Amino acid sequence: MENELKTKGSMKEFIGLLRQLKWPKGKTALALVLALFSTAASLAVPLVTRQLVDSLTGASFNWSTAVFLFVVFILQAVLGGVSYYLLAFIGETIVADLRNKLWYKVLRLPVSYYDENETGETMSRITQDTTMLKQLVSDHLVSFITGIISIIGAVAILLYLDWKMTLIMLVSIPVSMAIIFPLGRIMHKIAKATQGEMAKFSGHLGRVLGDIRLVKAYRAEPNEGEKGGKAISSLFSFGLK
């Protein structure tokens, strides 16, 4: 229960952060619409292909269906490409705005903060953690929405083609959900721990390289090398998980 409350609290903070960022709303809406049209075109391909294959078994080849299928492929590629570019633009815009806010915030923090936290760890929060947000917006957010629409459309088409076989296939969905949801919670914990470990490793690198003359003066290369090796091994373990 405590973990769920923490997750809900962090989710609310994350949503509040997203609302404060500079969202190009017009381009976001356009990218979503283009992604939806691209998804609709991809759903139309199996039906058109079915008609084309059926025409091959007949006396004559259906050229109009072949041309329509070619146009659908081109349309899907163009819409998908433009949508991908817009999503990349949106992600970069949001990350740039977030990094600006973090940078001005870091500059105004008291000196006691820098005494308690390593510089490299703060750098990692500004660079690597914000990149994760860009990947969320560019790669996962819209693809999640279009994926749901694609699933609904695909199920509708399958019901139209063969409803009995489709119902048999849908039986596997509850089993899949029972496996996916627990794995999702585990992956969330692993991803959060990985980000924290990466921040610590970046902090260690920044401290050692920033004071490299002091390290060499005290001949501490073996000790620092061992600490770095442990951090790299830990990141390796998280990567495998």
Range of the domain at 196: 174-241
Tokens of 62: 């259906």
Residue with tokens 């063969």, as numbered in its chain: 162
Element containing residue 29 per DSSP (H, E): helix 25-57
If asked whether residues 42 and 153 sit together in one domain, one would say: yes
pLDDT digits (tens, 9 = 90+) for 72-131: 788 888 887 888 788 788 878 888 888 888 888 888 888 887 777 777 777 777 777 777
DSSP-derived secondary structure letter, 241: -
If asked whether residues 141 and 89 sit together in one domain, one would say: yes
d(CA 227, CA 47): 59
Task: Please report, rounded to a whole number, the percentage of residues in the chain having pLDDT higher than 90.
Answer: 0
If asked whether residues 27 and 136 sit together in one domain, one would say: yes
Please give the torsion angle defined by the CA atoms of residues 43, 30, 135 and 17, in that order, rounded to the nearest 10 degrees: -130
Domain assignment present for 41: yes
Domain assignment present for 113: yes
Specify whether the CB–CB gap between 181 and 107 falls below 8 A.
Answer: no
Q: Write out 145-168 in H/E/C secondary structure.
A: HHHHHHHHHHHHHHHHHCHHHHHH
Last residue of a domain, one of 162, 183, 207: 162
pLDDT digits (tens, 9 = 90+) for 186-196: 888 888 888 88
Q: Is 70 exceeded by the pLDDT of residue 12?
A: no
If asked whether residues 220 and 125 sit together in one domain, one would say: no
Tokens of 196: 């924290």
The domain total for the chain is 2
Q: Is 70 exceeded by the pLDDT of residue 205?
A: yes
Q: Lowest-confidence range among 105-114, 126-135, 161-170, 180-189?
A: 126-135
d(CA 60, CA 51): 12
